[in-house]
Structure 1
Amino acid sequence: MTRRYPYIEKGSAEYYRYRAVVINTLRLQAISENLLEIEDLAGALSEIRLHLPHVLEPMKLSDDETSQLLLEVHKTLLEHYSKH
């Protein structure tokens, strides 16, 4: 895959804004589709990657960072469902 978007420096304010967009998009998609399992969240993230390449490609997430992001969303979903 060719790189079409400039990379964002990790730790920058812009990186955290992009990360927040990804987390909120994934969380809202998971809630609307009743997803809770990590594997389902990974599939939803793949869909987001297809539809929002301009957000995910510049972040250049490693496998560890992707796993951390999925676990963070999973944790917030557990908190959400425990309250509702």
Structure 2
Amino acid sequence: MKYISALVGAVTVIGAIFIAQVSADESMNVSSRASVGKVVFLVGQAELQTDDGIVMPVSKGMDIHEGSRLTVHDRSQVGLSMIDGAS
């Protein structure tokens, strides 16, 4: 029984390390793409979906990367400042 407990504990630790690595890789993928703009204000709620399918909440100051999609919820507004000067 002690052997099985130790094995389950080891598998749990390995799983946690794998999950942490996947999260780090996803963050690196998002930040390595070309930034095309930045969120300058947010009223309400919005979500950003990367071209890899990763969905995350939008926050003020967040970079918007090429290939991303913004979804703005009802009664919400998002202001963007694009690299070409458009807003």
Common fold, TM-score beyond 0.5? no
The structure showing larger relative contact order (alpha-carbon pairs under 8 Å, at least 6 residues apart) is 1
- Higher helix residue share: 1
| TM tier relative to shorter chain | 0.3 to 0.5
